[in-house]
Amino acid sequence: MSEKTDIGRELDGVLQKPKRQLAMVFDLNKCLGCHTCSISCKRQWTREEGMDNMWWAVVNTMPGKGTPKNWEGMGGGWDEKGEPRPSKIPTRDEFGDAWKFNKEEVFHGGKGKTVYLKPVNTKGEDPDWGPNWDEDEGGGEYPNSHFFYLPRICNHCTHPACLEACPRGAIYKRDEDGVVLINDKQCKGFRFCMEACPYKRIYYNHVRDVTQKCIFCFPRVEKGVAPACARQCPGRLRFVGYLDDENGPIHKLVHKFKVALPLHQEYGTQPNVYYVPPLSPPAVDMHGKVDPSKPRIPTEYLEGLFGPRVKDVLAVLEAEKEKKAKGLPSELMDTLIVYKWPENIFPDFVQDPANL
């Protein structure tokens, strides 16, 4: 049956409409690129056998090749007619291997002054790619070089390509909160989901022959604790909540102020992770003359990521920022600033995990 999505496109396929939908908003103007989110997720969920190269929560430098390398060119998701787009399964090398370091030699071999830490991949070779290989490289030409950080997790989509691709019925979307999960007893490691997901946010566990991905920290959210990536984030940019909670920050940023946009909505999976796009300083010429009409991050580049509404959103953010600078009230800026942590950023998930 064909249905109309909230971005106005007719889609064939079964939209997964849970009773409530958990969502995240990432304010890209606040991300420090510190990777605390990636590390807290890694420590919590991906320490078992076969998970060594998994990073369910990554932070990519943009413009950049991302994780896995060049994922935006791999295909997946749905085309304009709602048909599955051709795609490929990303390889372990494209995700970036788990490296080993010569720690024994450096720390215990008595050669600390002559040898230094050096990584090798699982083939015993010098690595030539990793999840953050092109970190801080960015794009543009001097003096208008630019970059920003783009944190990425599974989007817990409403039209999840991964779910429809699984011939085992191992992927499901929870009715109570819309979290997309893989039942690993049901999964046989066919990897159709890895092929179908256009965001390439599913990993293959070669030891257990199953696929694994972000679980939105469901054992934590069930106890009122925010996901680890969001709770630990020192930039306090990862908002968490239900889309239908009109008093919550998610509803306000996505539906009321309309400043949070999905990444590559044209992939057709209806992601439930949204981004406040990054503002940038104005461009300058070689003599240092500022051109306020041109932002340093080209708007066309941001439109390629977040769609045609980017320009309007950036204009709203600038205008509200100006208001705040003049001492005028701005509910939007107050929402983005997060004066009270944790209640302003994930109001339903304020429990401290240390007290459980």
d(CA 179, CA 209): 23
Asked if residue 213 binds ligand SF4 (CB under 6 A), the reply is yes
Stretch that binds ligand SF4, among 32-40, 62-70, 90-98, 316-324 (CB under 6 A): 32-40
Beta bridge partners of 242: 22
Spell out where 154-309 has E strands: 171-173, 180-182, 202-205, 210-213, 238-242, 261-262, 273-276, 282-284, 290-295
Using CB under 6 A, pick the residue from 228, 237, 276, 297 that binds ligand SF4: 237
Q: At closest approach, how far in Å is the CB of 171 from ligand SF4? A: 7
Q: What are phi and psi of 82, to 5 degrees?
A: 85, 10
The candidate with the shortest Cα–Cα distance to 198, out of 164, 160, 172, is: 160
For residues 42 and 201, which CB has a smaller minimum distance to ligand SF4 in the complex?
A: 201
Using CB under 6 A, pick the residue from 180, 181, 297, 305 that binds ligand SF4: 180
Asked if residue 298 binds ligand SF4 (CB under 6 A), the reply is no
For tokens 């009715």, the residue is 175
Q: How far is residue 20 CA from its own chain's centroid?
A: 21
Using CB under 6 A, pick the residue from 42, 156, 220, 251 that binds ligand SF4: 156
Locate 75 and state its tokens: 């295909």
Q: At closest approach, how far in Å is the CB of 151 from ligand SF4? A: 4
Asked if residue 22 binds ligand SF4 (CB under 6 A), the reply is no
The answer to whether the beta carbons of residues 283 and 300 sit under 8 Å apart is no
Asked if residue 191 binds ligand SF4 (CB under 6 A), the reply is no
The answer to whether the beta carbons of residues 91 and 47 sit under 8 Å apart is no
Q: Kindly identify the residues of this chain, within the stretch 40-59, that bind ligand SF4 according to CB under 6 A.
A: 59
DSSP H helices in 143-197: 161-165, 192-196
Element (H, E) at 26: strand 22-27
The candidate with the shortest Cα–Cα distance to 58, out of 75, 71, 48, is: 71
Q: What angle in degrees, to the nearest 10, is found between the helix axes of 299-306 and 310-325?
A: 110
Using CB under 6 A, pick the residue from 23, 62, 150, 197 that binds ligand SF4: 197
For residues 28 and 314, which CB has a smaller minimum distance to ligand SF4 in the complex?
A: 28
Asked if residue 210 binds ligand SF4 (CB under 6 A), the reply is no
Q: How far is residue 68 CA from its own chain's centroid?
A: 12
Reduce the DSSP state of residue 254 to 3 states and report it.
Answer: helix
Overall residue count recorded for the chain in this entry: 356
For residues 121 and 211, which CB has a smaller minimum distance to ligand SF4 in the complex?
A: 211
For ligand SF4, how many residues bind (rule: CB under 6 A)?
Answer: 29
Asked if residue 199 binds ligand SF4 (CB under 6 A), the reply is yes
What is the spatial order of strands in the sheet that 261-262 belongs to?
Answer: 238-242, 22-27, 273-276, 261-262
Q: At closest approach, how far in Å is the CB of 32 from ligand SF4? A: 4
Using CB under 6 A, pick the residue from 155, 211, 335, 344 that binds ligand SF4: 155
Asked if residue 5 binds ligand SF4 (CB under 6 A), the reply is no
Q: At closest approach, how far in Å is the CB of 285 from ligand SF4? A: 31
Asked if residue 317 binds ligand SF4 (CB under 6 A), the reply is no
For residues 76 and 144, which CB has a smaller minimum distance to ligand SF4 in the complex?
A: 76
Q: How far is residue 13 CA from its own chain's centroid?
A: 24
d(CA 85, CA 251): 30
Stretch that binds ligand SF4, among 3-11, 119-127, 233-241, 304-312 (CB under 6 A): 233-241
Q: At closest approach, how far in Å is the CB of 164 from ligand SF4? A: 9
Asked if residue 249 binds ligand SF4 (CB under 6 A), the reply is no
Q: Which chain residues interact with ligand SF4 by CB under 6 A?
A: 31-37, 59, 149, 151, 154-157, 160-162, 180, 197, 199, 201-202, 213, 233-235, 237-238, 269
